[in-house]
Amino acid sequence: MAGQLVLVIDFGGQYNQLIARRVRECGVYCEVVPYRISADEIAARQPIGLIFTGGPNSIYGENAPRPDPKIFELGIPILGICYGIHAMAYTLGGKVVPVAADGKREYGKTTTHYDGNCKLFDGLPSVGISWMSHGDSIAELPEGFEIMAHSDGCPVAAMQNVQKKFYGLQFHPEVTHTENGTQMIRNFLYNVCGANGDWAMGDFLRIQEEEIRRRVGDGKVLLALSGGVDSSVLAALLERAVGDKLTCVFVDHGLMRKDEGDEIERIFGGGAMHFVRVDAEKRFLEKLAGVTEPERKRKIIGEEFIRVFEEEAKKIGAVDFLAQGTIYPDVIESGLGDAAVIKSHHNVGGLPDYVDFKEIIEPLRLLFKDEVRALGGELGLPDSLVWRQPFPGPGLAIRIIGEITKDKLDLLREADAIMREEIANAGLMYSINQYFAVLTNMRSVGVMGDGRTYDYAIALRGVVTDDFMTVDWARIPFDVLNKISVRIVNEVPHVNRVLYDITSKPPATVEWE
């Protein structure tokens, strides 16, 4: 990747993906690499800065991950976060000790005092809330360091060695709970590392186009197009790069939302690529008949998708490349280092072994979801697709509690379409991260007209989140909920009750199944 580079050194922390996202949001390209990376490997990549992540270990623990000590001799600015500050202090001769004799971690929002003479805190208030999550703390600074922030329970909340451009934060600036945390990261990137903000999606598009053409040459590319954001953006990118050398197979399992299959065909069916839409609704419904257990639904749908894809790929003939919509969170969450060698097969979930392809190509594997959406915009895809609501692979099958039938699917499609339409009418489609309807298996007594009814209850779900690791229920205005409810009850047959889910994650999950 051309331009400036920051490497995020992964020590296994739960927020590592957020660190990389924050760096990208600041206009600087970064990649996450395992802590085992050597100083020579780092030097070869010529990064402008390094960020050590947090991690679950104690620096003195058995098999604790530790960086190559020679990294500190490269002359590259380093920011250590949480475990990262411990790794820095320990390696450079400081002393790290448990927070308390009882072994309890310091955790949560903490009032923290900052020294304005530190470049990380330039232009920020002298007091603010930071998010602490650690079991160890620094008792003695390494030579040449000075304390730059503290809290009541943490005497070394930040440290710096200005001469060597080494900085450490005991708290997590990457999480939203830390006030001005992103600005601290930005200050490190621009005030310490000398970043120029050259990470732009237009440049990524140009570079990927050239790379795809070079790799594919005269070969053929096959893509399983689900209609989701990732595969749709990848389809548009591949079509732009290789045109009719691309074949997209869209397996329409009949579990899509209202009119989505037709929209996908309308967008991708008229271009240079070869587009194949497979009507497999009857086949999937037969496989799902009588099945009520959520995990069985998922497995049946996943396996049947592969079987249909296999059959269609055989009709196409020899294929050189299989394209996947793998994105960066998939890579990070699947593990780095020892686990990285198997990641190229992760998203396929059971590759057709008869397809004669040279290799797998994953042009989006270095992008986060928001960056994939930005790339979709660069490619000219409509907002309705680029900002498509997150949709699970099993589709509406896991938004229907109990057995799946064609009638239930049609009922849910109408209710879900009404909710999405009213959310859009209210101008809330970009402020609620995910929203959808669920057909419960609960039936209740109601009164419609002069008659008694005994019909289904629809549950509405809306959530807000930064990362989907945790979510809060969306405070949709009552008047909007009222419009949705009135329309569903009046326009969707066999529904006489509408509920709103006000449960966060945890304890609930986003989806109901």
Q: Is the confidence at residue 83, as pLDDT, over 90?
A: yes
Selection from 213, 207, 218 nearest residue 238 by Cα: 213
Inside any domain, residue 394 = no
- Confidence bin at 186 (pLDDT 50/70/90): very high
Q: Is the confidence at residue 388, as pLDDT, over 90?
A: no
Residues 233 and 139 occupy one common structural domain: no
Active-site annotation holder among 26, 82, 118, 193: 82
d(CA 93, CA 41): 24
* φ/ψ of residue 151, rounded to 5: -130, 175
Question: Which token pair is 16?
Answer: 């590592």
Inside any domain, residue 391 = no
Q: CB–CB of 381/236 below 8 Å?
A: yes
Q: CB–CB of 437/399 below 8 Å?
A: yes
Tens digits of residue pLDDT in 404-438: 999 999 999 999 999 999 999 999 988 998 999 99
Q: Is the confidence at residue 513, as pLDDT, over 80?
A: yes
Inside any domain, residue 346 = yes
The HSE-up count of residue 405 (CA atoms within 13 Å, CB side) is 7
Residues 176 and 317 occupy one common structural domain: no
Using the Cα atoms of residue 402, residue 403, residue 404 and residue 408 in order, give the sign of their dihedral: negative
Residues 152 and 212 occupy one common structural domain: no
Last residue of a domain, one of 161, 192, 223: 192
pLDDT at 345: 31
Residues 352 and 439 occupy one common structural domain: no
Helix (H) or strand (E) segment spanning residue 299: helix 294-316
Q: CB–CB of 159/141 below 8 Å?
A: yes
- Confidence bin at 302 (pLDDT 50/70/90): confident
Tens digits of residue pLDDT in 457-503: 999 999 998 766 678 999 999 999 999 999 999 999 999 999 999 99
CA-CA distances (angstroms) from residue 351 to 14, 250, 302, 371?
30, 16, 12, 27
pLDDT at 313: 81
Q: Say which CATH number the domain at 478 has.
A: 3.30.300.10
* Domain count across the chain: 3
Helix (H, G, I), strand (E, B) or coil at 477: coil
Question: Which token pair is 225?
Answer: 């197009």
pLDDT at 357: 63
Residues 185 and 290 occupy one common structural domain: no
Inside any domain, residue 397 = no
Sheet containing 221-224, strands listed edge to edge, beginning at the edge strand earlier in sequence: 274-279, 246-252, 221-224, 321-323, 359-361
pLDDT at 354: 47
Tens digits of residue pLDDT in 48-78: 999 999 988 888 888 899 999 999 999 999 9
Inside any domain, residue 180 = yes
d(CA 246, CA 321): 9
Last residue of a domain, one of 142, 173, 192: 192
d(CA 343, CA 334): 7
Residues 215 and 330 occupy one common structural domain: yes
Average pLDDT over residues 218-232: 88
Residues 223 and 364 occupy one common structural domain: yes
Inside any domain, residue 456 = yes
Inside any domain, residue 300 = yes
Active-site annotation holder among 86, 134, 154, 172: 172
Over pLDDT 90: what percentage of the chain?
59
pLDDT at 350: 41
Q: Catalytic site residue 82?
A: yes
Residues 171 and 218 occupy one common structural domain: no
* CA trace torsion 33, 39, 43, 46 (10° rounding): 30
Inside any domain, residue 109 = yes
d(CA 173, CA 131): 7
Q: Catalytic site residue 174?
A: yes
Domain residues for the domain of 172 are 6-192
Last residue of a domain, one of 192, 221, 248: 192
Residues 176 and 251 occupy one common structural domain: no
Active-site annotation holder among 106, 174, 260, 312: 174
Q: CB–CB of 113/151 below 8 Å?
A: yes
Residues 226 and 247 occupy one common structural domain: yes
Residues 213 and 180 occupy one common structural domain: no
Q: Is the confidence at residue 341, as pLDDT, over 80?
A: no
| Residue 266: partners with Cβ closer than 8 Å, 6 or more residues away | none
What is the rounded radius of gyration, in angstroms, for the C-alpha atoms of the chain?
26
Give this prediction's pTM: 0.69
Q: Say which CATH number the domain at 236 has.
A: 3.40.50.620
For the chain, give me the number of helices (H) and strands (E)? 14, 20
Q: Any idea what the Cα angle at residue 234 is, between residues 231 and 236, rounded to 5°?
A: 115
Residues 147 and 296 occupy one common structural domain: no
| Residue 305: partners with Cβ closer than 8 Å, 6 or more residues away | 224, 251, 253, 393
- Confidence bin at 21 (pLDDT 50/70/90): confident
pLDDT at 352: 46
